[in-house]
Amino acid sequence: MAAQLYLEDLTPGTRFTSGEHALDEAQIVAFAKAYDPQPFHLDPETAKSTFFQGLAASGWHTAAITMRLLVESGLPLADGVIGAGGEIEWPRPTRPGDVLHVESEVLEVIPSRSQPHRGMVVVRSETLNQRGEVVQRLTPKLLVFRRPSETVPK
């Protein structure tokens, strides 16, 4: 089990790699029906004649899977993965059969001036498929807390 990290444990360059998630057609279609009902996410046949030239996962599905990978294994933060926002980019489609994992790197650690017990951490999280191709690039700003003082002898 990964260590549970606090603000003071993170420095620019700290890297993490998540476990894997195997994606299939049924998952792609189920997510699309619920949240992104467009032909290229819903039906493999219809998808062939669209821009995607075949079934592709909703970008928000890729984002949701990425979040699960970060929460479960990809970003071992003691108080959870709490994002204020960030940049997201989908350089290529996620496809049925893809096996995804997330590689993250801390870019910046910004202690809060007004709230000494916390800070913002900028991370770059790349979601890659089984060929090592980046299907999503996310640069979240995360709210990260310091280790509670009672657990650290002064």
Residues contributing to the site for a copy of itself (CB under 8 A): 31, 34-40, 50-51, 58-60, 63-65, 67-68, 71-72, 79-90, 137, 143
CB of 77 to a copy of itself, least distance (A): 10
**Choice between 1 and 84, CB closer to a copy of itself:** 84
Q: Is 59 or 96 the residue whose CB approaches a copy of itself more closely? A: 59
Burial (CB < 10 A; 0-12, 13-18, 19+), residue 112, is middle
Min separation Cβ 130 and a copy of itself, Å: 21
Which is nearest to 9 in space by CA: 83, 87, 75? 75
C-beta of 89: minimal distance to a copy of itself in Å? 3
- 3 or 84: whose CB is closer to a copy of itself? 84
Q: Give the tokens for residue 140.
A: 């979240």
Rounded least distance, CB 80 to a copy of itself, Å: 5
Crossing angle of helices 59-69 and 25-35, in 10° steps, is 110
121 is written with which tokens? Answer: 């951490």
> Nearer Cβ to a copy of itself, position 16 or 90?
90
Amino acid letter at 130? Q
Beta carbons within 10 angstroms of residue 18's beta carbon: 23
